[in-house]
Amino acid sequence: MKHVDEYRDPARAKEIAREIAQLAERIGRTPERPLLIMEVCGGHTHSIFRYGIQQLLPESVQFVHGPGCPVCVLPMGRVDDCVALAERRDVIFTTFGDAMRVPGSKKSLLKAKADGADVRMVYSPLDALQLARDNPDREVVFFGLGFETTMPSTAMTVMQAKAEGLRNFSLFCNHITIIPTVKAILDSPGMELDGFLGPGHVSMVIGQAPYEFIAHHYGRPLVVAGFEPLDVLQSVYMVLRQIAEGRSEIENQYGRIVPRDGNAQALRAIQEVFELREFFEWRGLGSIDHSGVRIRAEYADFDAERKFPIPNLKIADPKACQCGEVLKGAIRPRDCKVFGTACTPEMPLGSLMVSSEGACAAYYQYARFETRASHDTAEAGA
C-alpha cells in the first residue's frame, strides 16, 4: 500500500470486520463476557473513535483504553514542579503544547504563563536548545516527557548541548518506559485482558523483543499495530486469530515502520544519556519500579533536578476526578462522574481531558453524545 486512502478503504474494513465477527463467534464469547483488548497507545484510542472502529466490531469484542498517553500519566505533583521552575525569574521554561494545560494542584503552565512566567511552546527539544543559544543570560529548561518514542530526540539534544558547552540549557526529565507499565497493569488485581494492541511509535524505537514476557509469562497475545483504520482492524483480527488458535505470541502488523529489533541508533542515544530511576510515580498507577529514567551523572550539568531546587511534592488528584481508574482500564471515560459536565476540554479537571492522546478527550471529541445516550438508555433500562 502506497497511499493513505488505501488504509481507509471502507469495503476492506467491512470485510475484515466480518472476519473478526466470525473469529469472535468461534471463540465463543458473548456481550456479557466480551473479549477485552487493550490498546496501550493513546494514538490508537483516537483512531478507534475517529473512525468508528468499535461500531464495526461485534459486541463480544471490546476495547479497553490503556495508559499510553505520557502527558496523562504525569502525577499532579510533577506538574507543580514544572510550574515552580517556570516561575523562576531567570528561567525560560519550554514544553510541548499538550502539556501546557494539564492542571497542577494550583495552576497549569498556561496559567503560570498568564501570570507572568516565561513559558514557551516548542515543537522539538532542538527549539529549546536554540533558545539557549539566543539567550545566554537566561536559563532555558526543557520539559522532557514521553515514552521511548521521544527519548532519542531529547537524548541527542542533551548530547548536542554538551558538545557545544551550553551551560544555560537543562532538562527536567519526566521520560517514562512502556514495559514496566504494561506489567503493572497485568499485575493489577481483577484486571482481565485477553490481548493487546502494542504501541506503534514506541515499538519503532524498542522493537518487538521487550514484549515477549507478555506472551511467555502472562499468556496474552500482543500485536504491534499501526494507526490507520485498516491497521487497527487487521491487528484486532490477528489478536483474535491467536486466541482462536490457542496461541500467545508477539506479532508485528506495523512492519512497514517497526523493525523487529528496533532502532539501534536511537537506543544507543537513550543508553548514553539516561539511566533507569529506582521508581517513578504515575497518575492512577502509583509508584512503579524502574518505570522512569533520569539523566546520567556524565550529563549532570544539564539536569534541571540537580541544577534547581525542586519541590517534589506528592499531590493527590481531586476526588471527583477518576483519571487513575480510566488509565488502568478499570472504567471507561463515560463512567466518570464528571465526564462532559464538570470536566471538559475547556475546563479540565484531569489530564485525560487535556492531552491530544487522552482517552477522555477522544470520547468527548468523537463519541460523547453516543456514549452519553447509550449510557442513559442503559440506566433507564436498569
Is the pLDDT at 248 greater than 80? The verdict is yes
List the CATH number of the domain containing 139.
Answer: 3.40.50.11740
**Pairing verdict, β 279-282 and 286-289:** antiparallel
Q: Which amino acid is at 368?
A: R
Question: Is residue 358 included in any domain, yes or no?
Answer: no
- Residue 324 resides in a domain: no
pLDDT at 263: 97
Does residue 81 lie in a domain region? yes
**CA separation for the pair 71, 85 (Å, rounded):** 18
Range of the domain at 148: 76-175+262-307
Residue 82 inside a domain? The answer is yes
Is 348 within the bounds of a domain?
Answer: no
Q: Is the pLDDT of residue 186 over 80?
A: yes
128-181 per-position pLDDT tens digit: 999 999 999 999 999 999 999 999 999 999 999 999 999 999 999 999 999 998
Identify which has the larger pLDDT, 320 or 375.
320
| Secondary structure class of 35 (helix, strand, coil) | strand
Tell me what the pLDDT averaged over the chain comes to. Answer: 89
> Residues 33-61: pLDDT tens digits?
999 999 999 889 989 988 999 999 999 99
- Lowest-confidence range among 83-92, 242-251, 300-309, 316-325? 316-325
pLDDT of residue 372: 43
Q: How confident is the model at residue 2 (pLDDT cuts 50, 70, 90)?
A: low
Measured between alpha carbons, how far is 131 from 120 in angstroms, rounded to an integer? 10
Residue 381: predicted pLDDT? 36
- 3-state DSSP percent of the chain in helix, strand and coil, to 5: 45, 20, 35
Confirm if 63 and 39 have CB atoms less than 8 A apart.
Answer: yes
Contact 262, 204 (CB under 8 A): yes
Query: What pTM, to 2 d.p., does this model score?
Result: 0.86
Helix (H, G, I), strand (E, B) or coil at 42: helix
**Overall average pLDDT of the 209-216 stretch:** 96
**How large a percentage of the chain has pLDDT more than 90?**
64
Identify which of 212, 229, 248, 228 has the alpha carbon closest to the alpha carbon of residue 238. Answer: 248
Confidence of residue 117 (pLDDT cuts 50, 70, 90): very high
What is the rounded CA–CA span in Å between residue 96 and residue 236? 31
Which whole-number Å values give the CA distances from 137 to 80, 89, 142, in the listed order?
25, 12, 16
| Structural domains counted in the chain | 1
Give the C-alpha distances (Å, rounded to integers) separating 49 from 81, 272, 330, 368. 33, 38, 19, 10
Phi-psi region of 359 (alpha: psi -120 to 50; beta: other; left: phi over 0): alpha
Over residues 15-37, the pLDDT tens digits come to 999 999 999 999 999 999 999 99
Would 280 be classed as within a structural domain?
yes
Is 267 a domain residue? yes
Is 332 among the domain residues?
no
